[in-house]
Homo-oligomer: A and B are copies of this chain.
Amino acid sequence: MKYFIDNLIEKIEVKNSRICVGLDPHLNLMPTSILDPELLKNIEANHREIAAAILEFNQEIITAVADHTAVVKPQMAFYEKLGTAGMEALWETIYYAREKGLLILLDGKRNDIGSTAKAYAEAYLNIDSGADSLTINPYLGRDGITPFLEDKTKGAFALLKTSNPSSGDIQDLKLANGKKVYEEVALFLGRTAEKYKGQSGYSNLAAVVGATYPRELAQLRTLTPSLFFLIPGYGAQGGGAEDVKAAFDKEGRGAVINSSRGINFAYRKDEYKEFGAKNFADAAALAAKKMKEDINSVLDL
């Protein structure tokens, strides 16, 4: 069986695209042709119709971006918010993306003690219907991480240096050895990752590093050569292609850059307004293509 990470890297190279398209269905940003704003006046009562609209939206986005990305990343909170109907839309979204040949990085940031982490892995990384990989939180240490890595065809992306403004509250605390917490977390993840390395030299244990901290990103690429990075924070959160360039190795491997709102809701931006809300998927396709080319343009490929 092929390692998850080798499969991901292969698909990235086939498409020559180092982007990841987030599927974060912000209800108040959806085109009215898909989601009738009247339904939002009572979300609880209309959760089935809203969940159905989300699925339709996702399917159109996935079809539109499938040529330009190897991987999509649904953010679980937006589906969990709509209860079981939302979770059904999530599973259908995963199924649809798999059919289109895309890999699925499920963004759930799950974490718990070993026996419970195993239950989460069984829930979301099962062979038949699950995602290909899941984001996790490393605060519990090694025995909260390894249960997500038992199946070599699946991967886990551990939070390392997150993109949000207050990520430094804990992650930037200064340690007695002169390092910061996130650096020591990086080394810890790097050690844990050794056992899960594929032929590519990268590991099924990957990490999340925000594009909003380009200095740390460059440093972490050098510090942990076997950790593949998921990089959120491009676009809406403020990061640009030059900010993420250092995340890639000399072969242009080692990272995918995520954009969610910037692609999903491109139709709302001045730059794409000629498309109109009804053609939101065409706007998303062009935004994904442009982002793919933007990232590639800063690499020496």
- Taking beta carbons and an 8 Å cutoff, which residues of A are in contact with B? 24, 44, 75, 77-78, 80-81, 83-84, 87-88, 91, 109-114, 116-117, 119-120, 122-124, 128-129, 137-144, 159, 162-171, 173-178, 181, 184-185, 188
Within the complex, the shortest CB–CB distance from A208 to chain B, in Å, comes to 10
Could you say which of B81, B166, B174, B188 contacts A144, with CB atoms under 8 Å apart? B166
Q: What's the least CB distance linking A144 to chain B, in Å?
A: 6
Chain B residues with CB under 8 Å of A112's CB are 75, 77, 109
On chain B, the residues within 8 Å of A184 by CB distance are 170, 173
Copies assembled: 2
Task: Answer whether A128 and B166 are a contact pair too, CB < 8 Å, given A75-B116, A84-B91.
Answer: no
- Beyond A81-B122, A142-B166, A144-B164, 13 additional contacts (C-beta under 8 Å) are A44-B129, A75-B116, A78-B119, A80-B124, A113-B163, A137-B137, A137-B139, A141-B166, A142-B169, A143-B164, A144-B162, A173-B175, A175-B175
Cβ of A129 to closest chain B Cβ, rounded Å: 8
Closest-by-CB residue of B relative to A128 is B44
Docked complex Cα distance between A74 and B80 (Å): 16
7 inter-chain pairs at a CB distance below 8 angstroms, sorted by A residue, are A77-B123, A81-B122, A83-B87, A114-B164, A137-B137, A170-B185, A175-B176
Contact call A123/B80, Cβ cutoff below 8 A = yes
Contact B109 A137 (CB under 8 A): yes
CA A167 to CA B111, docked complex, whole Å: 12
Question: Measured between C-beta atoms, what is the minimum distance from A24 to chain B in Å?
Answer: 8
Contacts of A81 in B (CB 8 A): 119-120, 122-123
Q: Are B137 and A111 in contact (CB under 8 A)?
A: yes
Tell me which residues across on chain B come within 8 A of A117, comparing CB atoms.
77
Looking at the complex, which one of B111, B123, B169 makes contact with A141 (CB distance below 8 Å)? B169
8 interchain residue pairs of minimum CB distance: A141-B169, A141-B166, A77-B119, A113-B164, A81-B123, A143-B166, A174-B176, A142-B166
| Contact among B44, B77, B87, B139 for A138, CB-based, below 8 A | B139
Distance, CA A188 to CA B142, complexed state (A): 24
Minimal beta-carbon separation of A80 from chain B (angstroms): 4
| Cβ contact of A140, chosen from B77, B83, B88, B166, cutoff 8 A | B166
- With a cutoff of 8 Å between Cβ atoms, the chain B residues found around residue A162 in the complex are 113, 139-140, 144
Chain B contacts for A109, CB-based, 8 A:
110-112, 137
Instruction: From A137, A168, A178, name the one whose CB has the most chain B CB atoms within 10 angstroms.
Output: A137
Q: Nearest chain B CB to A119's CB is how many angstroms away?
A: 4
- Give complex CA distance A110, B139 in Å: 12
CA distance A159 to B143 in the complex (A): 16
